[in-house]
Amino acid sequence: MALSGSEILNNPRLNKGTAFTPTERGALGLTGLLPPFVSTLEQQVQRALANVRRQSSDIDRYIYLSSLQKRNERLFFRLLIDHIQELMPLVYTPTVGQACEEFAANFRDTAGFYVSIEDKGSVSSVLSHWPEKDVRLIVVTDGERILGLGDQGANGMGIPIGKLALYCACAGVDPAHCLPIMLDVGTENEVYVNDPLYLGLRQQRARGQEYDEFMDEFIESVKQRFPKALLQFEDFATDNAVALLERYRERLLCFNDDIQGTAGVAVAGLIASTRLTGKKLSEQKFLFLGAGSASTGIGALLVKVLEHEGLSEQEALDRLFYVNRSGLVVEEPGQVFGAHLAPFVKSMPAMSFGQAVDTIKPDVLIGASGTPKVFTQDIIEFMAQHNEHPVIFALSNPTSKAECSAEDAYLWSGGRAIFASGSPFGPVHVNGEIKVPGQGNNAYIFPGLGLGALHGGLTRIDDELLICAAQTLANTVTDKELAQGCLYPPLHNIRSVSVAIASAVAQKAEELGDVRRPLVGDFGERLRASLYDPRY
């Protein structure tokens, strides 16, 4: 039975609001339900943008945009695509961090899909309730390590919703093929357990065998219900993030954005930085603050890049140093390190972060610690004393967790730092120049990687594909952008960047034999023609 009248206006995929023509209004039973003036999509975009801008805070802007997505999907994505630079920080980092923290308080209308540990034994049946059957892309979290905010429990749903919005806007993935999933296995955040408005399970997180069995059932259910889907793991705690990726990467098409996406975008920035430093990556030393899955993911991929430049694996490992809460990661009696960190453990004396900087004299400082302002003036001035162009990456999200600001990095280095961050910072005036800091946003990598995986028929995603994506991204940065200090292309070019990455990744996968079928000769042209382009 065809929908008509208010049913159409209440369907975000079909609704055009005031853009329905008089003929459509008559045929669909809409006459009288809308004001008589017929708007163009462009007029609707301008009205929506004005509404975004008149909100009093970023969280109010986030709520308005979320409501628009639930009301008129095509208008939401047209607005996001056309104004990506202004709106991405509202749809995702940094605003999504606050949106997760306030998810229950601001809850208005359900979005995404929830599978709880209480569904154990019937997960496949539960997944059948999702209305779209041709799911190609799933982003899933269990909410334990949301950005730098820690355990957000069921409030973490904001992350997969935001990530999939970026897939659609930045890489042209059809929203009809997208499924955001929150796996609620409990929370250890006492604030939420005691919050009467909290919407998740009020119990300790499932762990050990119970958790593993639940995840096995979930993965098998995804394979059964959505056999064409790429699954992206998002914001799992380090131990689970590493274990889940290793357990399932050969069982279904999947990747972990915190480990692999972060690695890809960080390595892309490092590759681009060599055009400013004039030094090969294999000639540099790298000191990481933070030793979780994100930073060790960067390190593991960087080792592969250094090997491509001619170093042995051990020579590459010797150039990477890690500092965690205890100080420099070194061998200690009785100390056991996780598999992700073990390759980077050094046979050196124990020392603090400051002592490690002084002893190692790194060329590159990478922060993925979730600890704000830890890159102090003394640290950055020391880096500038020993490097003509010290490379400073403050990658922790949201902005409140950044290891330093762009302004600090530039001012304390005399304008010589090469800076990138995880959250956006505005231009900085220093020494009569304007520096435009680059945001090492995973949105530069994962949408293109996912697009290439889906259209190229990939069977697996390995490090060679991530290196390919990183090199492609680095190559899109112009000399003019680099001269301003920006290691990444402007966000308004992100769809073309994603297509370039998708094409390169698919071709590399075909070369490696990791595609289901050979690519067609005009693969790139067909890819561009297939992109979701929301219009009426």
Between CA 367 and CA 329 the distance in angstroms is 15
Q: H-type helices in 29-57, by residue range?
A: 41-54
Between CA 203 and CA 521 the distance in angstroms is 54
Short-list 413, 450, 445, CA closest to 430: 413
Same topology between domain 95-252 and domain 444-530: yes
Max Cα distance, the chain (Å)? 79
Q: Tell me the β-bridge partners of 309.
A: none
Q: Supply 489's token pair.
A: 């292309």
Between CA 386 and CA 380 the distance in angstroms is 10
Active site residues: 92, 163
Between CA 360 and CA 383 the distance in angstroms is 11
332: Cβ–Cβ under 8 A, 6 or more apart, which residues?
Answer: 350
320-324, strands of its sheet edge to edge: 327-328, 320-324, 286-289, 364-367, 391-394, 418-421, 438-439
Which architecture, in CATH terms, is 95-252? 3-Layer(aba) Sandwich (3.40)
128: Cβ–Cβ under 8 A, 6 or more apart, which residues?
Answer: 225
**Predicted local distance difference test score (pLDDT) of residue 335:** 85
- CA within 13 Å, CB half, 166: 30
**Predicted local distance difference test score (pLDDT) of residue 1:** 60
**Predicted local distance difference test score (pLDDT) of residue 96:** 95
With H, G, I as helix, E, B as strand and everything else as coil, classify residue 364.
Answer: strand
Backbone φ and ψ of 138, nearest 5°: -125, 130
**Predicted local distance difference test score (pLDDT) of residue 213:** 98
Q: Supply 471's token pair.
A: 């090199």
CATH assignment, 6-88 = 1.20.1370.30
Where are the domains positioned within the chain? 6-88, 95-252, 260-440, 444-530
**Predicted local distance difference test score (pLDDT) of residue 338:** 87
**Predicted local distance difference test score (pLDDT) of residue 252:** 95
With both helix axes pointing from N to C terminus, report the angle between 463-475 and 446-456 in degrees, rounded to the nearest 10: 120
CA dihedral angle for residue 275, residue 280, residue 285, residue 287, rounded to 10 degrees = 40
Between CA 84 and CA 65 the distance in angstroms is 13
CA torsion sign for 292, 397, 261, 367 is: negative
CB atoms within 10 A of CB 244: 21
What DSSP element (H or E) covers 65?
helix 58-71
CB distance 43 to 17 below 8 Å: no
| pTM, rounded to two decimals | 0.94
Q: Tell me the β-bridge partners of 394.
A: 367, 421
Q: Which amino acid is at 271?
A: I
**Predicted local distance difference test score (pLDDT) of residue 534:** 98
Which architecture, in CATH terms, is 260-440? 3-Layer(aba) Sandwich (3.40)
**Predicted local distance difference test score (pLDDT) of residue 43:** 98
CATH assignment, 444-530 = 3.40.50.10380
pLDDT string in tens for the chain (536-residue length): 688 899 999 999 999 999 999 999 999 999 999 999 999 999 999 999 999 999 999 999 999 999 999 999 999 999 999 999 999 999 998 899 999 999 999 999 899 999 999 999 999 999 999 999 999 999 999 999 998 899 999 999 999 999 999 999 999 999 999 999 999 999 999 999 999 999 999 999 999 999 999 999 999 999 999 999 999 999 999 999 999 999 999 999 999 999 999 999 999 999 999 999 999 999 999 999 999 989 999 999 999 999 999 999 999 999 999 999 999 999 988 888 988 999 999 999 999 999 999 999 999 999 999 999 999 999 999 999 999 999 999 999 888 899 999 999 999 999 999 999 998 899 999 999 999 999 999 999 999 999 999 999 999 999 999 999 999 999 999 999 999 999 999 999 999 999 999 999 999 999 999 999 999 989 999 999 999 999 99
